Amino acid sequence: MSKKPQTSNWSRRDVLKASAASAAITGAPLFFSRNAYGAEFLNNPGDGGTVTLGFNVPQSGAYADEGADELRAYKLAVKHLNGEGDGGMMNTLQPSALTGNGILGKKVEYVTGDTQTKSDAARASAKRMIEKDGVVMVTGGSSSGVAIAVQGLCQDAGIIFMAGLTHSNDTTGKDKKANGFRHFFNAYMSGAALGPVLEKEYGKERRAYHLTADYTWGWTQEESITASTEAIGWTTAEKVKTPVGAGDFSQYITPVLNSGADTLILNHYGKDMINSLTQAIQFGLKDKQVEGKDFQIIVPLYSRLMAQGAGENVKGIFGSTNWHWSLSDAGSQAFVKSFGQEYGFPPSQAAHTCYVQTLLYADACERAGTFEPCQVGAALEGHKFDGMGNGPTEYRAEDHQCFKDVLVVKGKDNPSSQFDLLEVVEVTPRAQVEYAVDHPMFAGGDLGSCNNGA
Amino acid sequence: MKNSSALSDWVLFLAFAAAVLTMPLWLAPFGANYPDLMQKFAIFGVFAIGFNILFGLTGYLSFGHAAFLGVGSYTAVWSFKLLSMNVLPAIMFSIVVAGVFAFLIGYISLRRSGIYFSILTLAFAQMSYNLAYSVLTPITNGETGLQLSLSDARVLDAMAGITVTRSLPSTNLFGMKMSGMPGFYFCAVVLIVAFFIALRITRSPFGAMLKGIKSNQTRMAYTGLNTRPYLLWAFVISGMFAGLAGAMMAVTDPLAGAERMQWTASGEVVLMTILGGAGTLIGPVLGAALIKYFENIFSSFNERILNRAFEALPDSIQSIVVDTVGLFVGEGWHLTLGLLFMITVIFLPGGIMEGVRRITALFDRDKSGSSSAASNTAAAEHS
Amino acid sequence: MDALFLQVLNGLDKGGAYALIALGLTLVFGTLGVVNFAHGALFMAGAFCAVTLEKVLTISTKVKDESITFFDAYKEVPILEAKFPVVGAFIVDFSVPFAILLAIPVMLFLGLLMERGLIRHFYKRPHADQILVTFGLAIIFQEIIRHYFGANPIPQSAPSMVSGSANIGALFGLGENVVYPWWRLIYLTFAAIVIASVFAFLQFTTFGMVVRAGMQDREMVGLLGIDIQRRFTIVFGMAAVVAGLAGVMYTPILPPDYHMGMDFLVLSFVVVVVGGMGSLGGAVLAGFLLGILQSFASMNEIKSIIPGIDQIIIYLVAVIVLLVRPRGLLGRKGVMEE
């Protein structure tokens, strides 16, 4: 059908004409761009009766269950902010500017999105919220890669990002942003909190063998934990990187048997952690003896949802967590009560941090008297509060990281129910896990200046 | 005949250009007229058009095209970091680097055909992904993805006297910022250009040669022709399209993540092409838009929205309807995708374009032969 | 030495799983000429047979949980164990082996259904179409599982009497550190038995003979008046059962989740291609070979020479084999070599 002669029918002039035509069409609809009315900041709810928040959580992929729990917490927080339900931690937050009448008198609405635990999908979803749904704040995330990627996006777009579950040092270190805030603890804090407990429980002379998920979060955690175990006199036998999603870890576990190490540290999270822990125990590591010492396994970052996945295997294994539902302070109890009544089971640490972040954002808006991101950010910076389940807490102004007590937990030997899997061994005081802003593990970043998108 | 074919190509091209540029208008009723989604339509349109040059014309099914997309993104972000925030050098380098990468992989993979070719491309893409995620982190920044930073060199910008102080610079085309609507129009123009190139390739003797390979490679070989150079060119060109798409992703959002290279991402572009109609010119763009629309809009439906949508129904029925529909939207949108895809492959192997053709054929018969412009376009468009 | 010995065991164990999945895949290709991208989903379906059985056996009554005071929480008490403490506990303990009995009919049914309902209509379609339609089916399988079982892995425990590890070092006169989990040894034995049975079935029964003849020359067998079609349907069912059994037995090693099918799909395809499309012996050989290579590539001594080699070894081997010997290790000359 198509032979040579007619292909050259398109002369250069034709092409020029065509591009001129397209250029004319291109120019025309430019007035459709957003914010033509000249708001003083991006997505200003203005005189409307509602304000929209964006909940960006993994709904598919490996962290979908955590994402589902985060979403439950967000919905609960919205309920409480709008004055429905029993109010949960709104009643225990100290000091509090919350009214139970929405935020700044506007009813809180929300949109949800699926991050798929991929930075691309998470950013696409956040962009939809910002560009289409007009949200004033995005929150969520169940992995550090996603949180850092979305945090960068919110900085560039000019809205506030309240990080959900993200544990990497980089989120408020190398990759910190003026518009981003993290309530969750980080790998350094895990190491600092675990160190003394491990020394007390297992002594000063141990040889640790690290299995580390081969990506950024795994490396920062390995670095943090190695630093704190070597500080108490432990030696490091070997650090082995494992591919993410390896499934079967047997080929990484058998070398541990012959390494002379007496402690295995699993820098894994999610599915990797469930698999590697289960398999390590199948290989008899828990019953092993090395030069008269019982072999020990440590999982530096614990989560109850994952402990559920690993079942029996978590018994007696130490780790750290941001929060646990069995805490007895008034804030935790109020939260567990209202979450439990709503859904029939206790919340996870992911749910907790997400709920707290939403309330803190609302509180900051009330105190600032506006949704303008820079003023809200200023209200969060250096803010000290209590009653949110973690004791006295401070949002450090220099890096937007919350400083609070950290929990060291252990897999419970005799759980009384399927939720009762971890017991709190020690509440490590804030002073012990605090670090300087320019600590080498966090160096190299810059908050930059706040962006309101105008 | 010759003239009418060239004319219908013109009509097709102009209609396409007009449709793309007026997207902000006609997408409004679908809630899809926001810049990010429309940018995605254009970017994945380019990706699918390029993929179609290989798969649609030659029938070689590559499961590794996402690797070229990823390479394009990484190259573009590095260009932003080292050279300039201007998008032109980034796009140029991305196309070149992706082309070179495609040449290397294509040279090896094209030694085999059929499913072996698919597996080879899949193997290369998985290797690229695994390495980008872990060992190559100094280049790719692994899980977090390669991002801009304040301390980047930006040699050309520095020479031009552009410096940044407190906030990250944004990508631009000689000063015009590439985010939001301008970004969309930029992507739209690139898509139209890419479409034009694909149209020319399809109509050229080279395109005819590729189609010959698809219908009967052995016969082509018997005529004393070595088909491999043609295939390799098709592979490299389609890799360059993928690199261009990757660069545009970085232009509209300066971040490059490793998951762009995963084999499931390669699978996605296959889905797009098939869904729209492999071998057609418009089909892949349609397929790309449909899948991205699903991913962004369907996945955002939640219970609250559904309840509101079906408010008019009686309570008991409403809850049943919401539950059933809820299975397919929100977190269940993958299920819809899988179903839609199976239905297409089973009943409409030619994708949406075949459906359009069948409908217009019916329409034509009703009007007893009077050829409408639409069917004319569709016929010309199907090569 | 001890370390190497253990890595060989690891490799054989992994290889057992790869071989079982690849066996069915290559069988279906060899007989029906169909490239089945939903084969990984069948492996997953088998694993979830075990999960379902365990869930059914531990169907529980909800009892108010007194340990949680500040909201109404309920804990679950399995009825079976509560009613028949000894027998019930025994059955629950052995739920994974019992799941085999469930998996055989379920997987056979699923396989026949798939062949009759879908695959049959794709015999004459190009390989690309077959890949695409089964890929779509795999997505649907996976999403249905996720909808009902969630995204987190669900651990299954091996019977308690074999949940520990065997001190095989003493057995072979190696060091005391040479221990290996009983269940993994059982899995290896199980894989060997299943593989041997499939081979024996094809080698020594009339049915198998016809199938093998059909694999050689389908048209000829048809001309002889044999209903090869019906037999191929059964072969597909058999492949599904083998994949399902591999899934059931693998659950104590790898807690099953909705994505495990996709995880194994690419791997098993590589195994089939390395072994030779349509070659049963090749699939088994390649399965074990790749398993062992993967284990050795993971050793720190090797990773320190070639960083990241454990991430790509399988694909690297596939590329080399395809280029040097495209028909695969034991593939017949001419199969897919156009």
Could you report the per-residue pLDDT of B349-365, keeping only the tens digit for each?
888 888 888 888 888 77
Percent of chain A with pLDDT over 70: 91
Nearest to A258 among C2, C71, C255 (CB): C2
Q: What number of H helices and E strands is found in chain C?
A: 15, 4
Nearest to C6 among A254, A275, A278 (CB): A254
Instruction: For chain C, give the mean pLDDT.
Output: 85
Check if the beta carbon of residue A210 is closer than 8 Å to that of residue A246: no
Chain B residues with a Cβ under 8 Å from any Cβ in chain C: 55, 59, 61, 108, 111-116, 118-120, 122-124, 126-127, 130-131, 134-136, 217-218, 263-264, 267, 270-271, 274, 327, 332, 334-335, 337-339, 341-342, 345-346, 349
Residues C263-300 have pLDDT tens digits of: 888 888 889 889 988 888 999 999 999 999 999 988 88
Which is more confident, B124 or B166? B124
Residues in C touching A258 (Cβ below 8 Å): 2-3, 6, 175, 177
Check CB contact under 8 Å for A21 and B17.
yes
Check CB contact under 8 Å for C135 and B218.
no
| Chain B closest-CA separation from residue C317 CA (Å) | 10
Domain that holds residue B49: 12-261
- C-alpha gyration radius of chain B: 22
Structure tokens at A153: 């996006």
ipTM: 0.85
Residues in C touching A346 (Cβ below 8 Å): 68, 73
Does the residue C108 lie in any domain?
yes
Residue B1 has pLDDT above 70, yes or no: no
Check CB contact under 8 Å for B302 and A112.
yes
Q: By mean pLDDT, which of A72-86, A320-334, B209-223, C15-29 is the weakest?
A: B209-223
| Chain A closest-CA separation from residue C247 CA (Å) | 14
Q: Identify the band that residue A293 occupies on the pLDDT scale cut at 50, 70 and 90.
A: confident
| Chain C closest-CA separation from residue B143 CA (Å) | 15
Domain that holds residue C12: 2-324
d(CA C96, CA A142): 32
Q: How many residues are listed for chain A in this entry?
A: 454
Residues in C touching A331 (Cβ below 8 Å): none
Check CB contact under 8 Å for A216 and B137.
yes
Residues in B touching C135 (Cβ below 8 Å): 267, 341
B partners (3+ CB pairs within 8 A) are A, C
Check CB contact under 8 Å for B341 and C127.
no
Residues B194-238 have pLDDT tens digits of: 999 999 999 999 988 888 888 777 777 677 778 888 999 999 999
Does the residue B363 lie in any domain?
no
Residue B320 pLDDT = 80
Residues C248-260 have a mean pLDDT of 89
Q: Identify the band that residue A23 occupies on the pLDDT scale cut at 50, 70 and 90.
A: very low
d(CA A247, CA B87): 41
Q: By mean pLDDT, which of A199-208, A315-324, B184-193, C201-210 is the weakest?
A: C201-210
Check CB contact under 8 Å for B185 and A26.
yes
Instruction: Give the residue from chain A lying closest to C178, CA to CA.
Output: A257
Show the domains of chain A with their CATH numbers. 50-185+325-404 (3.40.50.2300), 188-321 (3.40.50.2300)
Residues in A touching C18 (Cβ below 8 Å): none
Instruction: Give the residue from chain B lying closest to C132, CA to CA.
Output: B345
Q: Helix, strand or coil for residue A195? A: helix
d(CA B138, CA B64): 23
Instruction: Annotate A208-233 with b (16+ C-beta within 10 A) or e (fewer).
Output: bbbbbbbbbbbbbbbbbbbebbeebe
Chain A interface test: which of C174, C254, C265 (most A C-beta within 10 Å): C254
| Chain A closest-CA separation from residue B302 CA (Å) | 7
C335 has a chain B CB within 8 A of its CB:
no
pTM for the predicted model, two decimal places: 0.84
Residue C6 amino acid letter? L
Residues C184-219 have pLDDT tens digits of: 999 999 999 999 999 999 889 988 888 888 777 777
Chain C interface test: which of B345, B346, B348, B354 (most C C-beta within 10 Å): B345
Q: How many domains does chain B have?
A: 1
Strand-pairing partners, residue A386, are: A94
Q: How many domains does chain C have?
A: 1
Instruction: Give the residue from chain C lying closest to B216, CA to CA.
Output: C338
C22 has a chain B CB within 8 A of its CB:
no
**Closest-CA residue to A388 (of A331, A428, A329):** A331
Check if the beta carbon of residue B132 is closer than 8 Å to that of residue B140: yes
Burial of C97 (0-12, 13-18, 19+ CB in 10 A): middle
The position carrying tokens 């004393």 is: B224
Check CB contact under 8 Å for B342 and C140.
yes
Check CB contact under 8 Å for B17 and A127.
no
Residues in B touching C312 (Cβ below 8 Å): 126-127, 130-131
Instruction: For chain A, give the mean pLDDT.
Output: 86
| Chain B closest-CA separation from residue C44 CA (Å) | 17
- Can you say whether residue B35 is alpha, beta or left, with left for phi > 0 and alpha for psi between -120 and 50 degrees? alpha
Chain A interface test: which of B74, B130, B331, B382 (most A C-beta within 10 Å): B331
Residue A9 has pLDDT above 50, yes or no: no
Residues A379-434 have pLDDT tens digits of: 999 999 999 999 999 999 999 999 999 999 999 888 877 788 889 999 999 999 99
Residues in C touching A341 (Cβ below 8 Å): 71-72
Q: Identify the band that residue B165 occupies on the pLDDT scale cut at 50, 70 and 90.
A: low
Instruction: Give the residue from chain B lying closest to A125, CA to CA.
Output: B296
Residues B62-107 have pLDDT tens digits of: 989 999 999 999 999 999 999 988 999 999 999 999 999 999 999 9
Residues B168-181 have a mean pLDDT of 82
3-state secondary structure C224-263: CCCCHHHHHHHHHHHHHHHHHHHHHHHCCCCCCCCCHHHH
Which is more confident, A262 or B224? A262
Does the residue C331 lie in any domain?
no
Check CB contact under 8 Å for A282 and C184.
yes
**Closest-CA residue to A40 (of A181, A162, A152, A136):** A136
Residues A262-272 have a mean pLDDT of 90
Question: Pairing mode, if any, of strands A107-114 and A137-140?
Answer: unpaired
Residue B4 pLDDT = 59
Residues in A touching B2 (Cβ below 8 Å): 3, 5-6
Residues in A touching C155 (Cβ below 8 Å): 274, 278, 309-311, 313
Name A378's Cβ contacts closer than 8 Å, sequence gap at least 6.
A368, A450
Q: Helix, strand or coil for residue A409? A: strand
Does the residue B266 lie in any domain?
no
Check CB contact under 8 Å for C10 and A241.
no
